[in-house]
Amino acid sequence: MSTRVDIVLDRPRQPSEHQILNMGPQHPSTHGVLRIVLEVDGEMVVKATPVVGYLHRAMEKIAESMTFHQFLPYTDRLDYLAPLANNVALTCAQEKLCGIELPPRAQAIRVMCCEISRISAHLLGLGAFAMDVGAMTVFLWTFRERETLYNLIEHLSGARFTTSYTRVGGVAHDIPEGFLSELRRFLDGFPARVDEYERLLTRNRIWVERTRDVGVITKEDAISYGLTGPNLRASGVEWDLRVKRPYLGYQDYRFDVPVGSVGDCYDRYLCRIEEMRQSREILRQVADTLPDGPVLAPDTHVSLPAKSETLKGMEELIYQFILITEGQDAPVGESYFAAENPKGELGFYFRSRGGGYPDRMFIRAPSFVNLQILEKVLPGGFVSDVVAVLGSIDFVMGECDR
Amino acid sequence: MSGLPEPLAALVDELPDGVRAVEDLRGEPAFEAAPGAARDPIRRLKGEGFGFLYLLTAVDNYPGEPRFEVVYGVRSLDRNLDVRLNVPLHSAAAAVPTVTDLFAAAGWMEREVYDMFGIRFTGHPNLTRILMWEGFTGWPLRKDYPLLGDTPGTAGHVGKGHKR
C-alpha cells in the first residue's frame, strides 16, 4: 500500500497568497454584463469588487433633450424584465410633477400592468436563480408561465417587451376584448404552478443547502446599504411602497407583504414566491372590480386627445400638435416619485425649469443600489456561493447601468 | 415653517446656520443648506432616525451660480417620512464631504455623481469612475458637455431641451 506524499513547495506557502479571479462580464450567472473581481484564498472569497457600467447608455443625459412621451420607450430598456412596470413608474412620476389626476379605470389598468410585470419578473428571477444553483427544470417551467404572460402583454400593448403602454394621464388604449377572460384563465391556474415550483425547491435538500444561511444580509446592513424590494423585506424590514405610500389606488386591494427573518438567499427566494401569490391575489381583485370609464384624463391640456377627435375638432388638433411637439408644460421646481417595482424602489427625481423637457431627470435604479451589498456579503463565502447570492439578489444590468 | 411634519418642525431650529426649510412642488419637505455644508444637517437627520439614504444625485444649473446642487434624500422607515436636502455648490469649489461613513449606500451613489458631474466627495474611500470607463475624460451630465460628440462648443453643445 502506497503512502500519500505531501506536495513540497520550493518556497514556504504565504498565508496571504490570494488569487484574483475575474468573474464576468460574460459569466452566465451575472445575467447580463456584471463583472466581479474576486480575491480568493482557495475556495473562499476574501474580497469582492463589483464592476458595473458595461451597459451604460446615458439615459439621464438623453432625457434632458426629450419630452416625457419621447422618453417613455427608453424605460422599456431599464428593467427589461418588467417594462410595463417601468412605463407606469415614469408616467406616474410625470403626473406627480405636473399634478395630473388619473381616471379610476386607468389606475386599475396600471395596477394590472404592475402586477403582471411583477409575476413575470419574479418568475424569471426564480428560474435563473434555480438554474444557476443547478435546478434546470424550474427555469423551463417558469418560462412556460412567462410565455402565457408575454402573450397577455402582447395582447394588451401590442408588443412583448417594448411595451410603451402608458401615457401621461392614463394608458394608450383600453384593454382589448377578451383580455380579462384570458387573464382570469391564467390566474386560475397559477397557484397550482407556484405549488409545483415549491415542490421542486422549498424542501429540496440540495436547494436548501445551497441557499440557507448563505449570503446573510442583516437588517442593519440592508437599511444602511439602501436595499429595497424583496431583498430588503427578506432581511426582516416591512417596507413596501404599495402599502406605505399607496399610489394608483393600491389601498383598495387586500394583499399581504411577505417579510423574511434571516435575510439569507432562502428567505429572498421565499419572499419572491409569496409575492407572486400576492400579486395574483391583487390581479384577481382588479379583474373583479375594474371600473368603467375613460382610460385617459379628460383634460386635453395634459393628456393626448382621442385620435378620432383630433380628426374632427380644431381645439383637439391644436393640443395634439402641441403635446407631441412641445410636451406637457411642467411647473418649475422639483419632485420625486418612487414606485415599488419587482426589483425594488424605482424612483424618478425631476428638476424642471418649465416647458416640456426636464432640466434634470435622475433615475433611482434599485438594481444599482442593491448590487453594492455584494462587497459586503460575498467575502467569507465560497466561490460557488457567489452564484447563489447573485441569483437571490435578482438584478438587471439594464437598470443598474442605465 | 408651518407645513413641516412633526419631527422635522422640531428639528429645523436645531439645524446648523444657513439651513432653511423649503417645499417641493408637491409639498414634500426639503431643506436647503448653505453652499458646501452638507454633512452637519445629514448627520443631524440621521440621528433623528432618518437612517435610509434613498437618493443622492446632483443638478447642474449652468450657466448660473452656484452652479451645482447636490441632492440628498433621507428616509425614516419608522415614521414613513422622507426629507430631501439640497446643497448648492459653486463651480470653483465643487466638493462636499462624503457621507459614506453614515450610509453605506452612499459609496456608489457618490461615485456616480463624481463620474457624471465631477463633484468631489472629500474623504470618500474610493472615489473613482463607476459607469464610465477609467481613462474617460469629461463629465457627461454637465450641461456644457455635448449631447453628440465629445468636443464642448460643437454642434449639439447643449441639448435641444435647453432652448428656452
**pLDDT tens digits along A326-353:** 888 888 888 899 999 999 999 999 888 8
**pLDDT tens digits along B15-59:** 666 677 776 667 777 777 777 677 888 888 888 888 899 999 999
Please report the pLDDT score of residue A16 as a whole number.
Answer: 64
pLDDT greater than 50 at residue B1: no
Please report the pLDDT score of residue A305 as a whole number.
Answer: 81
Nearest CA in chain A to B71: A349
**pLDDT tens digits along A12-31:** 656 667 888 888 787 776 67
Nearest CA in chain A to B131: A53
* Model pTM score: 0.85
Please give the helix or strand (H or E) that residue A316 lies within, else none.
helix A314-325
Rg of chain B over Cα atoms, rounded to whole angstroms, equals 17
**pLDDT tens digits along A263-274:** 899 999 999 999
Mean pLDDT of B64-79: 87
Q: Which residues of B touch A (CB under 8 A)?
A: 24-26, 28, 30, 51-55, 57, 59-60, 71, 73, 77, 80, 82, 84, 103-105, 107-109, 112, 116, 129-133, 140-141, 145, 147, 159-162, 164
Please report the pLDDT score of residue B164 as a whole number.
Answer: 34
Strand extents, DSSP E, A185-253: none
Please report the pLDDT score of residue A339 as a whole number.
Answer: 92
Q: Rounded distance, CA A190 to CA A58, Å?
A: 38
More reliable by pLDDT, A13 or A47: A47
Mean pLDDT of A54-66: 87
pLDDT-based confidence at A303, cuts 50/70/90? confident
**pLDDT tens digits along A93-104:** 988 888 888 899
pLDDT-based confidence at A286, cuts 50/70/90? very high
Pairing outcome for strands B81-89 and B29-32: parallel
- Contact at 8 Å (CB) between B4 and B12? yes
Please report the pLDDT score of residue B155 as a whole number.
Answer: 46
Q: Which of B59, B73, B108 sits opposite A336 (nearest CB)?
A: B73
The string of DSSP codes covering A51-83 is E--TT---HHHHHTTS-HHHHHHHHHTSSTT-H
Percent of chain A with pLDDT over 90: 36
pLDDT greater than 50 at residue B158: no
Residues of B in contact with A358 (CB under 8 A): 161
Q: Rounded distance, CA B61 to CA B58, Å?
A: 10
Mean pLDDT of A313-328: 84
More reliable by pLDDT, A122 or B25: A122
Residues of A in contact with B104 (CB under 8 A): 221, 224-226, 372, 376
**pLDDT tens digits along A151-182:** 999 999 888 888 989 988 888 888 998 899 99
**pLDDT tens digits along A351-386:** 888 878 888 899 999 999 999 999 989 988 888 889
Q: Which of B28, B80, B141 sits opposite A244 (nearest CB)?
A: B80
If you average pLDDT over every residue of chain A, what do you get?
Answer: 87
Rg of chain A over Cα atoms, rounded to whole angstroms, equals 23
- How far B147 CA sits from the closest chain A CA (Å)? 7
Residues of A in contact with B52 (CB under 8 A): 223, 226
pLDDT-based confidence at A258, cuts 50/70/90? very high
Mutate to test the interface with B, among A52, A56, A59, A61 (most CBs of B within 10 A): A61
Q: Which of A61, A226, A355 sits opposite B147 (nearest CB)?
A: A61
Q: How far apart are the first and last CA of chain B?
A: 33
Q: Rounded distance, CA A317 to CA A305, Å?
A: 8
Q: Count CA atoms within 13 Å of residue A266 on its CB side.
A: 16
Q: Rounded distance, CA B136 to CA B56, Å?
A: 22
Mean pLDDT of A46-75: 88
Please indicate whether, in this complex, the C-beta atoms of B131 and A99 are within 8 angstroms of each other: no
Mean pLDDT of A378-402: 89
More reliable by pLDDT, B12 or A192: A192
Coil, strand or helix at B93: helix
Cβ neighbours, 10 Å, residue A308: 9
Please report the pLDDT score of residue B159 as a whole number.
Answer: 46
Residue B72 identity: Y
Please indicate whether, in this complex, the C-beta atoms of A364 and B55 are within 8 angstroms of each other: yes
Please indicate whether, in this complex, the C-beta atoms of B71 and A369 are within 8 angstroms of each other: no
Mean pLDDT of A83-94: 91
- How far B123 CA sits from the closest chain A CA (Å)? 18
Supply B90's cell numbers: 459653486
Please report the pLDDT score of residue A62 as a whole number.
Answer: 87
Coil, strand or helix at B137: coil
Residues of B in contact with A61 (CB under 8 A): 140-141, 145, 147, 159
- How far A223 CA sits from the closest chain B CA (Å)? 6
Please indicate whether, in this complex, the C-beta atoms of B107 and A65 are within 8 angstroms of each other: no
**pLDDT tens digits along A174-215:** 899 889 999 999 999 999 999 999 998 888 888 998 898 888
Mutate to test the interface with A, among B23, B25, B32, B113 (most CBs of A within 10 A): B25
Contacts of residue B156, defined as CB under 8 A and 6 or more positions apart, other chains included, come to: B146, B147, B148, B149
Please report the pLDDT score of residue A346 as a whole number.
Answer: 92
Please report the pLDDT score of residue A3 as a whole number.
Answer: 67
More reliable by pLDDT, A307 or A236: A236
Q: Which of B55, B161, B164 sits opposite A347 (nearest CB)?
A: B55
